[in-house]
Amino acid sequence: MVFNKRVKTTFPIGTNEGKVVSSLLRDGFKTQPAMSDGIRIASLTRGGLVCRKIWSVRWKSASGKVVDIFGVYGLQCM
For 11-68, the pLDDT digits (tens) are 999 999 999 999 999 999 999 988 888 999 999 999 878 999 999 999 999 999 999 9
User: CA 34 → CA 43, 61, 78, distances in Å?
Assistant: 13, 11, 27
Instruction: Report d(CA 37, CA 8) in Å as an integer.
Output: 20
Q: What pLDDT, on the 0 to 100 scale, is given for residue 71?
A: 98
Q: What pLDDT, on the 0 to 100 scale, is given for residue 72? A: 97
Name the 3-class secondary structure at 38: coil
pTM greater than the 0.85 cutoff: yes
Distance CA 41, CA 25 (A): 12
Beta carbons of 58 and 45 less than 8 angstroms apart: no
- Supply the pLDDT for residue 47: 87
Residue 49 has a pLDDT of 82
Question: Which pLDDT belongs to residue 75?
Answer: 92
